[in-house]
Structure 1
Protein backbone atom coordinates (compact mmCIF):
# COMPACT_ATOMS: atom_id res chain seq x y z
CA UNK A 1 0.00 0.00 0.00
CA UNK A 2 2.83 2.37 0.80
CA UNK A 3 4.33 1.81 -2.61
CA UNK A 4 0.99 2.49 -4.28
CA UNK A 5 0.59 5.70 -2.28
CA UNK A 6 4.05 6.80 -3.34
CA UNK A 7 3.27 6.08 -6.95
CA UNK A 8 0.04 7.98 -6.70
CA UNK A 9 1.56 10.98 -4.91
CA UNK A 10 4.47 11.36 -7.33
CA UNK A 11 2.29 12.28 -10.35
CA UNK A 12 0.43 14.80 -8.20
CA UNK A 13 3.69 16.57 -7.35
CA UNK A 14 4.74 16.42 -10.93
CA UNK A 15 1.38 17.70 -12.12
CA UNK A 16 1.35 20.36 -9.45
CA UNK A 17 4.88 21.39 -10.37
CA UNK A 18 4.18 21.26 -14.07
CA UNK A 19 0.97 23.26 -13.99
CA UNK A 20 2.59 26.65 -13.23
CA UNK A 21 5.08 26.24 -16.01
CA UNK A 22 2.64 26.39 -18.98
CA UNK A 23 0.63 29.16 -17.33
CA UNK A 24 3.58 31.48 -16.70
CA UNK A 25 5.43 30.91 -20.02
CA UNK A 26 2.67 32.23 -22.33
CA UNK A 27 2.26 35.28 -20.14
CA UNK A 28 5.94 36.22 -20.42
CA UNK A 29 5.98 35.55 -24.17
CA UNK A 30 2.91 37.74 -24.67
CA UNK A 31 4.48 40.55 -22.69
CA UNK A 32 7.69 40.32 -24.72
CA UNK A 33 5.75 40.32 -27.99
CA UNK A 34 3.70 43.33 -26.93
CA UNK A 35 6.88 45.21 -25.96
CA UNK A 36 8.50 44.40 -29.28
CA UNK A 37 5.34 45.36 -31.16
CA UNK A 38 5.29 48.71 -29.35
CA UNK A 39 8.93 49.40 -30.19
CA UNK A 40 8.73 48.44 -33.87
CA UNK A 41 6.27 51.19 -34.95
CA UNK A 42 8.42 53.84 -33.27
CA UNK A 43 11.54 52.47 -34.92
CA UNK A 44 9.81 52.36 -38.33
CA UNK A 45 8.62 55.91 -37.87
CA UNK A 46 12.15 57.10 -37.09
CA UNK A 47 13.49 55.25 -40.10
CA UNK A 48 10.85 56.78 -42.34
CA UNK A 49 11.64 60.27 -41.13
CA UNK A 50 15.33 59.74 -41.78
CA UNK A 51 14.65 58.14 -45.16
CA UNK A 52 12.54 61.06 -46.33
CA UNK A 53 15.26 63.51 -45.38
CA UNK A 54 17.99 61.62 -47.17
CA UNK A 55 15.79 60.91 -50.15
CA UNK A 56 15.01 64.60 -50.55
CA UNK A 57 18.69 65.53 -50.70
CA UNK A 58 19.44 62.73 -53.15
CA UNK A 59 16.60 63.83 -55.42
CA UNK A 60 17.86 67.39 -55.52
CA UNK A 61 21.39 66.26 -56.28
CA UNK A 62 20.12 63.98 -59.04
CA UNK A 63 18.30 66.87 -60.65
CA UNK A 64 21.53 68.86 -60.96
CA UNK A 65 23.32 65.87 -62.43
CA UNK A 66 20.70 65.43 -65.11
CA UNK A 67 20.92 69.10 -65.98
CA UNK A 68 24.69 69.02 -66.46
CA UNK A 69 24.54 65.82 -68.47
CA UNK A 70 22.20 67.50 -70.98
CA UNK A 71 25.08 69.17 -72.78
CA UNK A 72 26.04 65.94 -74.57
CA UNK A 73 22.53 65.63 -75.95
CA UNK A 74 22.68 69.01 -77.67
CA UNK A 75 25.85 68.50 -79.73
CA UNK A 76 23.90 68.91 -82.92
CA UNK A 77 20.37 68.71 -84.16
CA UNK A 78 17.56 70.24 -86.16
CA UNK A 79 14.85 72.31 -84.53
CA UNK A 80 12.06 74.40 -85.95
CA UNK A 81 12.01 78.14 -85.45
CA UNK A 82 8.98 80.10 -84.30
CA UNK A 83 8.22 80.82 -87.96
CA UNK A 84 8.25 77.11 -88.79
CA UNK A 85 11.70 77.24 -90.41
CA UNK A 86 13.95 74.26 -89.73
CA UNK A 87 17.29 75.30 -88.23
CA UNK A 88 20.51 73.42 -87.55
CA UNK A 89 21.93 73.94 -84.07
CA UNK A 90 25.54 73.07 -83.20
CA UNK A 91 26.96 73.25 -79.68
CA UNK A 92 30.57 74.34 -80.31
CA UNK A 93 31.98 74.81 -76.84
CA UNK A 94 30.89 74.77 -73.21
CA UNK A 95 32.97 76.08 -70.35
CA UNK A 96 32.61 76.12 -66.58
CA UNK A 97 32.98 79.64 -65.18
CA UNK A 98 32.95 81.09 -61.68
CA UNK A 99 32.08 84.42 -60.16
CA UNK A 100 33.65 85.52 -56.88
CA UNK A 101 31.14 87.02 -54.45
CA UNK A 102 31.16 87.95 -50.79
CA UNK A 103 30.29 84.47 -49.56
CA UNK A 104 32.65 82.60 -51.88
CA UNK A 105 32.35 81.56 -55.53
CA UNK A 106 29.33 80.98 -57.72
CA UNK A 107 29.85 78.43 -60.46
CA UNK A 108 28.03 78.50 -63.77
CA UNK A 109 28.39 77.48 -67.41
CA UNK A 110 29.07 79.38 -70.64
CA UNK A 111 27.89 77.93 -73.96
CA UNK A 112 28.84 78.80 -77.56
CA UNK A 113 26.25 77.79 -80.19
CA UNK A 114 26.12 78.09 -83.99
CA UNK A 115 22.73 78.15 -85.73
CA UNK A 116 22.03 77.97 -89.47
CA UNK A 117 19.33 77.00 -91.94
CA UNK A 118 21.61 75.06 -94.30
CA UNK A 119 20.69 77.43 -97.15
CA UNK A 120 23.13 80.31 -96.77
CA UNK A 121 22.19 81.80 -93.41
CA UNK A 122 24.21 81.31 -90.24
CA UNK A 123 24.74 82.97 -86.86
CA UNK A 124 26.49 82.38 -83.56
CA UNK A 125 25.79 83.33 -79.97
CA UNK A 126 26.94 82.66 -76.43
CA UNK A 127 25.15 82.62 -73.09
CA UNK A 128 25.87 82.09 -69.40
CA UNK A 129 23.68 80.50 -66.72
CA UNK A 130 23.84 78.42 -63.56
CA UNK A 131 22.74 75.28 -65.47
CA UNK A 132 23.83 73.93 -68.84
CA UNK A 133 20.41 73.72 -70.58
CA UNK A 134 19.59 77.31 -69.69
CA UNK A 135 22.97 78.52 -70.98
CA UNK A 136 22.41 76.66 -74.27
CA UNK A 137 18.96 78.19 -74.66
CA UNK A 138 20.35 81.69 -74.14
CA UNK A 139 23.13 81.09 -76.66
CA UNK A 140 20.69 79.68 -79.22
CA UNK A 141 18.35 82.66 -78.87
CA UNK A 142 21.29 85.06 -79.32
CA UNK A 143 22.49 83.16 -82.41
CA UNK A 144 19.06 83.34 -84.05
CA UNK A 145 19.01 87.13 -83.66
CA UNK A 146 22.42 87.59 -85.31
CA UNK A 147 22.05 85.38 -88.38
CA UNK A 148 23.68 86.71 -91.57
CA UNK A 149 23.37 85.67 -95.19
CA UNK A 150 26.45 84.46 -97.09
CA UNK A 151 26.70 84.29 -100.88
CA UNK A 152 27.33 80.70 -102.04
CA UNK A 153 28.41 79.43 -105.43
CA UNK A 154 26.02 76.82 -106.81
CA UNK A 155 24.71 76.46 -103.25
CA UNK A 156 27.65 74.24 -102.23
CA UNK A 157 30.87 76.29 -101.94
CA UNK A 158 32.30 79.82 -101.69
CA UNK A 159 32.69 82.16 -104.64
CA UNK A 160 36.35 82.98 -103.94
CA UNK A 161 39.14 82.59 -101.42
CA UNK A 162 39.26 84.79 -98.37
CA UNK A 163 40.91 85.55 -95.06
CA UNK A 164 39.42 86.44 -91.73
CA UNK A 165 40.88 87.79 -88.53
CA UNK A 166 39.68 88.59 -85.05
CA UNK A 167 42.19 89.32 -82.32
CA UNK A 168 44.78 86.55 -82.40
CA UNK A 169 42.53 84.27 -84.49
CA UNK A 170 43.38 84.01 -88.19
CA UNK A 171 41.68 81.74 -90.72
CA UNK A 172 41.96 81.10 -94.46
CA UNK A 173 39.01 79.84 -96.50
CA UNK A 174 39.10 78.58 -100.09
CA UNK A 175 36.49 77.42 -102.56
CA UNK A 176 36.74 73.80 -103.67
CA UNK A 177 35.41 71.63 -106.52
CA UNK A 178 32.52 69.24 -106.06
CA UNK A 179 33.32 66.18 -104.01
CA UNK A 180 35.96 67.80 -101.83
CA UNK A 181 33.85 67.91 -98.69
CA UNK A 182 34.30 70.11 -95.65
CA UNK A 183 37.97 70.17 -94.77
CA UNK A 184 37.79 72.01 -91.49
CA UNK A 185 38.06 71.17 -87.84
CA UNK A 186 36.58 72.23 -84.55
CA UNK A 187 34.44 75.37 -84.50
CA UNK A 188 34.93 76.10 -88.22
CA UNK A 189 33.32 72.81 -89.24
CA UNK A 190 30.21 73.64 -87.20
CA UNK A 191 29.90 76.97 -89.02
CA UNK A 192 30.10 75.48 -92.53
CA UNK A 193 27.78 72.57 -91.71
CA UNK A 194 25.15 74.98 -90.41
CA UNK A 195 25.68 77.29 -93.38
CA UNK A 196 25.03 74.52 -95.89
CA UNK A 197 28.47 74.47 -97.54
CA UNK A 198 29.38 71.07 -98.97
CA UNK A 199 32.87 71.75 -100.40
CA UNK A 200 35.41 74.03 -98.75
CA UNK A 201 39.05 74.00 -97.63
CA UNK A 202 39.99 75.96 -94.49
CA UNK A 203 43.02 76.49 -92.31
CA UNK A 204 43.39 78.15 -88.91
CA UNK A 205 46.82 79.76 -88.47
CA UNK A 206 46.22 81.73 -85.29
CA UNK A 207 44.63 81.24 -81.90
CA UNK A 208 42.77 78.03 -81.16
CA UNK A 209 40.32 79.84 -78.88
CA UNK A 210 36.88 78.79 -80.18
CA UNK A 211 35.43 82.27 -79.69
CA UNK A 212 38.20 83.91 -81.73
CA UNK A 213 38.04 81.21 -84.41
CA UNK A 214 34.28 81.63 -84.81
CA UNK A 215 34.52 85.41 -85.08
CA UNK A 216 37.43 85.17 -87.55
CA UNK A 217 35.45 82.71 -89.69
CA UNK A 218 32.46 85.05 -89.77
CA UNK A 219 34.77 87.91 -90.75
CA UNK A 220 35.95 85.88 -93.74
CA UNK A 221 32.40 84.91 -94.71
CA UNK A 222 31.09 88.46 -94.56
CA UNK A 223 33.81 89.53 -97.01
CA UNK A 224 32.48 87.11 -99.62
CA UNK A 225 30.97 88.77 -102.69
CA UNK A 226 29.08 87.25 -105.60
CA UNK A 227 29.21 88.28 -109.27
CA UNK A 228 25.60 89.39 -109.02
CA UNK A 229 26.27 91.86 -106.21
CA UNK A 230 29.39 93.22 -107.95
CA UNK A 231 27.49 93.69 -111.21
CA UNK A 232 24.70 95.54 -109.44
CA UNK A 233 27.16 97.77 -107.62
CA UNK A 234 29.05 98.65 -110.80
CA UNK A 235 26.00 98.90 -113.01
CA UNK A 236 27.08 96.18 -115.43
CA UNK A 237 25.91 92.77 -116.55
CA UNK A 238 27.12 89.56 -114.99
CA UNK A 239 28.23 88.25 -118.40
CA UNK A 240 30.52 91.27 -118.84
CA UNK A 241 32.31 90.49 -115.59
CA UNK A 242 32.64 86.76 -116.24
CA UNK A 243 33.85 87.30 -119.82
CA UNK A 244 36.97 89.17 -118.77
CA UNK A 245 38.87 86.01 -117.89
CA UNK A 246 39.30 85.05 -121.54
CA UNK A 247 36.04 83.09 -121.78
CA UNK A 248 33.87 83.38 -124.83
CA UNK A 249 30.63 85.32 -124.86
CA UNK A 250 28.55 82.14 -124.93
CA UNK A 251 30.41 80.68 -121.94
CA UNK A 252 30.10 83.94 -120.02
CA UNK A 253 26.38 84.10 -120.66
CA UNK A 254 25.95 80.45 -119.60
CA UNK A 255 27.90 81.08 -116.41
CA UNK A 256 25.91 84.22 -115.74
CA UNK A 257 22.64 82.31 -116.14
CA UNK A 258 23.88 79.70 -113.67
CA UNK A 259 24.63 82.32 -111.03
CA UNK A 260 21.83 82.20 -108.49
CA UNK A 261 23.15 84.68 -105.98
Structure 2
Protein backbone atom coordinates (compact mmCIF):
# COMPACT_ATOMS: atom_id res chain seq x y z
CA UNK A 1 0.00 0.00 0.00
CA UNK A 2 2.84 2.35 0.85
CA UNK A 3 4.46 1.74 -2.52
CA UNK A 4 1.22 2.51 -4.31
CA UNK A 5 0.85 5.74 -2.34
CA UNK A 6 4.38 6.77 -3.27
CA UNK A 7 3.69 6.05 -6.93
CA UNK A 8 0.55 8.18 -6.80
CA UNK A 9 2.43 10.97 -5.08
CA UNK A 10 5.11 10.93 -7.78
CA UNK A 11 2.66 11.21 -10.67
CA UNK A 12 2.02 14.50 -12.38
CA UNK A 13 -1.74 15.04 -12.36
CA UNK A 14 -2.97 17.11 -15.30
CA UNK A 15 -5.47 19.79 -14.47
CA UNK A 16 -8.80 19.29 -16.15
CA UNK A 17 -9.73 22.20 -18.38
CA UNK A 18 -12.96 24.00 -17.60
CA UNK A 19 -13.82 24.36 -21.30
CA UNK A 20 -13.28 22.17 -24.33
CA UNK A 21 -11.74 23.92 -27.33
CA UNK A 22 -12.59 23.33 -30.97
CA UNK A 23 -10.74 25.08 -33.81
CA UNK A 24 -13.32 25.97 -36.46
CA UNK A 25 -11.10 27.61 -39.06
CA UNK A 26 -7.57 28.89 -39.69
CA UNK A 27 -7.16 31.42 -42.51
CA UNK A 28 -4.07 33.04 -43.96
CA UNK A 29 -4.44 36.82 -44.07
CA UNK A 30 -2.02 39.08 -45.95
CA UNK A 31 -1.56 42.81 -45.47
CA UNK A 32 0.17 44.89 -48.15
CA UNK A 33 2.69 47.46 -46.82
CA UNK A 34 5.56 49.49 -48.29
CA UNK A 35 8.08 46.71 -47.86
CA UNK A 36 5.77 44.05 -49.36
CA UNK A 37 3.20 41.67 -47.89
CA UNK A 38 2.91 40.64 -44.27
CA UNK A 39 1.43 37.21 -43.61
CA UNK A 40 -0.72 36.54 -40.53
CA UNK A 41 -3.16 33.85 -39.40
CA UNK A 42 -6.78 34.35 -38.40
CA UNK A 43 -8.02 31.61 -36.04
CA UNK A 44 -11.68 31.00 -35.22
CA UNK A 45 -12.18 28.93 -32.05
CA UNK A 46 -15.28 27.71 -30.19
CA UNK A 47 -15.26 26.69 -26.53
CA UNK A 48 -17.87 25.06 -24.29
CA UNK A 49 -18.37 23.02 -21.12
CA UNK A 50 -21.15 20.74 -22.51
CA UNK A 51 -23.40 22.02 -19.73
CA UNK A 52 -25.06 24.98 -21.43
CA UNK A 53 -22.18 27.44 -21.76
CA UNK A 54 -20.58 28.15 -25.14
CA UNK A 55 -18.73 30.95 -26.93
CA UNK A 56 -16.64 31.77 -29.99
CA UNK A 57 -13.62 34.00 -30.55
CA UNK A 58 -11.39 35.20 -33.38
CA UNK A 59 -7.66 35.81 -32.92
CA UNK A 60 -5.02 37.09 -35.34
CA UNK A 61 -1.26 36.59 -35.00
CA UNK A 62 1.88 35.83 -36.99
CA UNK A 63 1.85 32.29 -35.54
CA UNK A 64 -1.03 29.82 -35.35
CA UNK A 65 -0.51 28.93 -31.67
CA UNK A 66 -0.64 32.54 -30.48
CA UNK A 67 -3.65 33.19 -32.70
CA UNK A 68 -5.52 30.27 -31.10
CA UNK A 69 -4.65 31.53 -27.60
CA UNK A 70 -6.00 34.98 -28.44
CA UNK A 71 -9.18 33.43 -29.84
CA UNK A 72 -9.69 31.32 -26.69
CA UNK A 73 -9.38 34.35 -24.39
CA UNK A 74 -11.90 36.27 -26.53
CA UNK A 75 -14.26 33.29 -26.49
CA UNK A 76 -14.11 33.12 -22.69
CA UNK A 77 -15.11 36.79 -22.52
CA UNK A 78 -18.13 36.20 -24.80
CA UNK A 79 -19.72 33.13 -23.21
CA UNK A 80 -23.49 32.65 -23.36
CA UNK A 81 -25.87 30.39 -21.41
CA UNK A 82 -28.03 28.04 -23.48
CA UNK A 83 -31.30 26.67 -22.00
CA UNK A 84 -31.44 22.88 -22.40
CA UNK A 85 -34.52 20.74 -21.67
CA UNK A 86 -34.67 17.33 -19.99
CA UNK A 87 -34.44 15.57 -23.37
CA UNK A 88 -31.09 17.26 -24.09
CA UNK A 89 -32.68 19.46 -26.74
CA UNK A 90 -33.67 23.11 -27.19
CA UNK A 91 -36.99 24.44 -25.80
CA UNK A 92 -38.44 25.77 -29.08
CA UNK A 93 -37.80 26.39 -32.78
CA UNK A 94 -35.53 29.24 -33.89
CA UNK A 95 -35.31 30.74 -37.37
CA UNK A 96 -32.62 33.43 -37.54
CA UNK A 97 -30.94 35.51 -40.24
CA UNK A 98 -27.48 36.97 -39.64
CA UNK A 99 -25.67 38.71 -42.51
CA UNK A 100 -25.80 36.22 -45.42
CA UNK A 101 -26.51 33.19 -43.21
CA UNK A 102 -29.96 31.79 -42.42
CA UNK A 103 -30.32 29.03 -39.84
CA UNK A 104 -33.34 26.97 -38.85
CA UNK A 105 -32.89 25.05 -35.57
CA UNK A 106 -35.66 22.81 -34.20
CA UNK A 107 -36.03 20.60 -31.11
CA UNK A 108 -35.95 16.81 -31.57
CA UNK A 109 -37.03 13.75 -29.61
CA UNK A 110 -34.50 11.71 -27.56
CA UNK A 111 -32.33 9.45 -29.69
CA UNK A 112 -32.38 11.68 -32.77
CA UNK A 113 -28.84 13.01 -32.37
CA UNK A 114 -27.38 16.25 -33.67
CA UNK A 115 -28.60 16.67 -37.25
CA UNK A 116 -26.35 19.54 -38.27
CA UNK A 117 -23.11 20.22 -40.09
CA UNK A 118 -20.14 22.52 -40.14
CA UNK A 119 -19.64 25.10 -37.41
CA UNK A 120 -23.20 24.71 -36.09
CA UNK A 121 -22.65 21.03 -35.26
CA UNK A 122 -19.46 21.73 -33.29
CA UNK A 123 -21.05 24.59 -31.35
CA UNK A 124 -24.14 22.51 -30.48
CA UNK A 125 -21.94 19.66 -29.23
CA UNK A 126 -19.88 22.04 -27.08
CA UNK A 127 -23.09 23.50 -25.63
CA UNK A 128 -24.25 20.02 -24.55
CA UNK A 129 -27.23 19.68 -26.92
CA UNK A 130 -27.61 16.03 -27.99
CA UNK A 131 -30.92 15.99 -29.92
CA UNK A 132 -31.64 18.71 -32.45
CA UNK A 133 -32.65 19.24 -36.08
CA UNK A 134 -31.21 22.07 -38.17
CA UNK A 135 -30.98 23.41 -41.70
CA UNK A 136 -28.52 25.90 -43.20
CA UNK A 137 -30.35 28.01 -45.80
CA UNK A 138 -27.77 30.69 -46.55
CA UNK A 139 -24.03 31.34 -46.63
CA UNK A 140 -21.50 28.51 -46.23
CA UNK A 141 -18.85 30.76 -44.68
CA UNK A 142 -17.56 29.15 -41.47
CA UNK A 143 -17.11 32.38 -39.50
CA UNK A 144 -20.51 33.80 -40.48
CA UNK A 145 -22.23 30.49 -39.69
CA UNK A 146 -20.49 30.33 -36.29
CA UNK A 147 -21.68 33.85 -35.45
CA UNK A 148 -25.20 33.01 -36.67
CA UNK A 149 -25.19 29.87 -34.50
CA UNK A 150 -24.40 31.94 -31.40
CA UNK A 151 -27.18 34.41 -32.32
CA UNK A 152 -29.62 31.50 -32.68
CA UNK A 153 -28.67 30.07 -29.28
CA UNK A 154 -28.94 33.54 -27.72
CA UNK A 155 -32.53 33.78 -29.03
CA UNK A 156 -33.58 30.68 -27.07
CA UNK A 157 -35.72 31.17 -23.98
CA UNK A 158 -36.25 28.82 -21.01
CA UNK A 159 -39.11 26.33 -21.09
CA UNK A 160 -41.56 28.53 -19.15
CA UNK A 161 -41.07 31.57 -21.39
CA UNK A 162 -40.72 29.60 -24.62
CA UNK A 163 -43.80 27.39 -24.21
CA UNK A 164 -46.07 27.34 -27.22
CA UNK A 165 -49.44 29.05 -26.91
CA UNK A 166 -52.40 26.69 -26.46
CA UNK A 167 -54.83 26.84 -29.38
CA UNK A 168 -58.36 27.98 -28.55
CA UNK A 169 -61.52 27.67 -30.66
CA UNK A 170 -61.03 31.21 -31.92
CA UNK A 171 -57.52 30.34 -33.15
CA UNK A 172 -58.87 27.23 -34.89
CA UNK A 173 -61.63 29.11 -36.79
CA UNK A 174 -59.45 30.34 -39.68
CA UNK A 175 -58.05 26.84 -40.08
CA UNK A 176 -61.55 25.32 -40.15
CA UNK A 177 -62.68 27.90 -42.72
CA UNK A 178 -59.79 26.94 -44.99
CA UNK A 179 -60.63 23.24 -44.66
CA UNK A 180 -64.30 23.88 -45.50
CA UNK A 181 -63.35 25.90 -48.59
CA UNK A 182 -61.08 23.10 -49.80
CA UNK A 183 -63.81 20.51 -49.28
CA UNK A 184 -66.28 22.64 -51.26
CA UNK A 185 -63.79 22.97 -54.12
CA UNK A 186 -63.22 19.23 -54.16
CA UNK A 187 -66.99 18.52 -53.98
CA UNK A 188 -67.92 20.68 -57.02
CA UNK A 189 -67.42 18.62 -60.25
CA UNK A 190 -66.06 20.25 -63.37
CA UNK A 191 -69.06 19.16 -65.53
CA UNK A 192 -71.46 21.34 -63.59
CA UNK A 193 -69.30 24.35 -64.26
CA UNK A 194 -69.21 23.59 -67.98
CA UNK A 195 -72.99 23.01 -68.16
CA UNK A 196 -73.70 26.23 -66.27
CA UNK A 197 -71.46 28.14 -68.68
CA UNK A 198 -73.23 26.76 -71.79
CA UNK A 199 -76.66 28.39 -71.32
CA UNK A 200 -75.12 31.80 -70.79
CA UNK A 201 -73.24 31.49 -74.10
CA UNK A 202 -76.30 30.09 -75.97
CA UNK A 203 -78.87 32.62 -74.73
CA UNK A 204 -77.37 35.67 -76.46
CA UNK A 205 -77.26 33.74 -79.76
CA UNK A 206 -80.96 32.85 -79.49
CA UNK A 207 -81.87 36.44 -78.70
CA UNK A 208 -79.88 37.68 -81.69
CA UNK A 209 -81.67 35.22 -84.04
CA UNK A 210 -85.08 36.32 -82.69
CA UNK A 211 -84.18 39.95 -83.34
CA UNK A 212 -83.16 39.16 -86.94
CA UNK A 213 -86.43 37.32 -87.61
CA UNK A 214 -88.45 40.21 -86.14
CA UNK A 215 -86.56 42.69 -88.36
CA UNK A 216 -87.32 40.60 -91.47
CA UNK A 217 -91.05 40.47 -90.63
CA UNK A 218 -91.22 44.24 -90.21
CA UNK A 219 -89.46 44.74 -93.59
CA UNK A 220 -91.99 42.49 -95.36
CA UNK A 221 -94.96 44.33 -93.84
CA UNK A 222 -93.60 47.65 -95.02
| Shorter-normalised TM range | 0.5 to 0.7
Segments of structure 1 that go 5 or more residues without pairing to the other structure are 1-77, 81-85, 232-240, 247-261
Corresponding residue for residue 118 of structure 2: 186
For the 8 Å contact 1:113–1:124, the answer to whether it is kept is yes
* 1:133 and 2:70 are equivalent in the alignment: no
Segments of structure 2 that go 5 or more residues without pairing to the other structure are 1-14, 169-222
Distance 1:91 1:243, change over 3 A: closer
- Give the distance between the partners of 1:182 and 1:134, measured in 2 at CA: 31
Taking structure 2 as the reference length, what is the TM-score of the superposition?
Answer: 0.65
* 1:107 and 2:44 are equivalent in the alignment: no
For the 8 Å contact 1:119–1:155, the answer to whether it is kept is no
* 1:161 and 2:76 are equivalent in the alignment: no
* Residue in structure 1 matching 2:146, options 201, 211, 214: 214
1:195-222 Cα deviation digits (max 9, x unpaired): 0010111111100111111111112111
Compute the displacement of 1:227 (Å).
Answer: 2.9
* 1:124 and 2:56 are equivalent in the alignment: yes
For the 8 Å contact 1:155–1:197, the answer to whether it is kept is no
Higher relative contact order (CA closer than 8 Å, sequence separation 6+) = 2
Consecutive aligned runs of 4 or more in structure 1 exceeding 2 Å deviation = 241-246
1:36-76 Cα deviation digits (max 9, x unpaired): xxxxxxxxxxxxxxxxxxxxxxxxxxxxxxxxxxxxxxxxx
* 1:142 and 2:74 are equivalent in the alignment: yes
Corresponding residue for residue 197 of structure 1: 129
Decide which structure has the larger Cα Rg and report it. Answer: 1
RMSD between aligned residues: 2.1
